[in-house]
Amino acid sequence: MQTMDFKFIFLLFSLSFSISSSAISHANFMPRFPSSNIVRPEQLSLSTTNELYRTKYFTQILDHFNYNPPSYKTFQQRYLINDTFWGGAGKNSPIFVYTGNEGDIEWFTQNTGFMFDTAPHFKALLVFIEHRFYGKSIPFGGDKDIAYSNATTLGYLSSTQALADYAPLIIDLKKNISATDSPVVVFGGSYGGMLAAWFRLKYPHVAIGALASSAPILNFENITSPYSFNSIITQDFRSKSENCYKVIKGSWQHIEDTANKPGGLEVLRKSFKICKNYISVSSLESWLHTAYVYTAMTDYPTPSNFLNPLPAYPVKQMCKAIDDEVGANDTLAKLYGAANIYYNSSGSATCFDLEDDSDPHGLGEWTWQACTEMIMPTSGNNKESIFPASEWDYNGRASFCKNLFDIEPRPNWITTEFGGHDIERLLKRFASNIIFFNGLRDPWSGGGVLKNISNTIISIVAEEGAHHVDLRFSSREDPKWLQDVRRREMEIIGKWISQYYHDLAHS
């Protein structure tokens, strides 16, 4: 998939369209929600057996939206289930469903501790559904070579098809376990959070409510500024250290100046411990850019292992490495120290391979979604940005997608299908029972719902919060604000369930 000399940096969740010239071109960088083809020496492992869940499969229809004979083809859709704390169908105990993101569902399940933490309180059954075309939920007989081969097969990969997958799976599951009267609440983070919110809007008869964490449902079609994403990243670093901000901001020119000197690329290779197989200015800058973006996204208050193993408050730790007075005049050493926080927390890496395009969590097909309907402008950089100034370039994206898939993006489809413009007036008219959580240190928060829309469509905003931090497993080290966020979410969900039981008793 590396046509036109484009190199992919996939992210989670969320990908990045990256660099095609010797100068860094952030206009083409499209950060993904989770993380994938990023260079890293340490990778999370997915256990084949796990006490957190049992693996099941559902026979799913390929195409929910037409009646041509090919649409009746089926595939096996994976879902994970945990009934450890379920109160049972006899008590109409609730069912909590995670609307799977663009990747292996085991990875998301292992990083969605909030559902496990709250299951005992609500006596809830937990279900995590894998998104079609990801993980092991691959149409066309599970053959990725066929499923991913061209636009004809990839055309069945869309958010609307995914939502339509979740509805019959949930309905069938409830029927099979004799739990037709058990209330369903859907949960999701990032793209999964968008799906959770949209599922509540599209299938209110299936789910009584949704927790949509870090769900940038407004990051489309002139609703959110294309400068928002990188402006938040810039503020994340600048709020920790003005010097840190200035060093990163000035580093791009410094790197290019160094590369243009005789032997400059070798100086860069040694300074950043890049493996000997490959180095270029653009790949090095992409590597650094990725580290800054994803560290800002996962600037959690406790150690994490979601994208990469990271310490608590990793942005602060990056800036600490840059501000360290040891080697005060060595900019490259400072930048290497910062990158090491993201790529080498264990200190065991001997070199970094800039050509590593591994995809351990199976996120690569987000490229298709980012070329069709998920046109989310994020690449604008103003003069204050820590990244070089750039404009959002839709034409560049469209040209890239045309060359890669021979398709034209539909930048207006998401807002046509789900809404987005004048969201307050829109949702106030007909929607209910959605929690939108956003942490303001998360660059995706600029495209989130940041104020209450009604008494039942609630926005919870955490000034110090990062990307779906509320969905992580709880820790005794969690700050009070995070504990308060989770407590409030539980209270709201509890009210939904109580109201459901009241209505059921009086129906």
Nearest CA to 25 out of 390, 287, 385, 371 is that of: 390
- Helix (H) or strand (E) holding 322, with range, is helix 314-323
CA dist., res. 81 & res. 335, Å (int): 43
Active site residues: 190, 442, 467
CA dist., res. 453 & res. 425, Å (int): 8
CA dist., res. 162 & res. 62, Å (int): 10
H-type helices in 349-479, by residue range?
Answer: 366-372, 394-405, 413-418, 423-430
Q: Please give the C-alpha separations between residue 135 and each of 17, 28, 108, 449, in angstroms, as whole numbers.
A: 22, 27, 11, 29
Nearest CA to 104 out of 49, 34, 165 is that of: 34
Amino acid identity, residue 22?
S
Centroid of chain to Cα 371 = 16
Contact (Cβ atoms closer than 8 angstroms) between residue 461 and residue 489? no
DSSP collapsed to 3 states, 425-438: HHHHHHCCCEEEEE
Give the tokens for residue 246.
Answer: 């200035």
CA dist., res. 373 & res. 376, Å (int): 9
Give the tokens for residue 340.
Answer: 């090491």
b/e map of 199-217 (b: 16 or more CB within 10 Å)? Answer: bbbbbeebbbbbbbbbbbb
Amino acid identity, residue 225?
S
Length of the chain equals 507
Contact (Cβ atoms closer than 8 angstroms) between residue 13 and residue 189? yes
Give the tokens for residue 99.
Answer: 């609307």
Contact (Cβ atoms closer than 8 angstroms) between residue 500 and residue 494? no
Q: Which residue has the tokens 């407004």?
A: 218
Q: What are phi and psi of 494, to 5 degrees?
A: -60, -40
H-type helices in 298-360, by residue range?
Answer: 314-323, 331-343
CA dist., res. 303 & res. 460, Å (int): 23
Q: What are phi and psi of 402, to 5 degrees?
A: -65, -45
**Can you spell out the DSSP letters for 149-166?**
SSHHHHTT-SHHHHHHHH
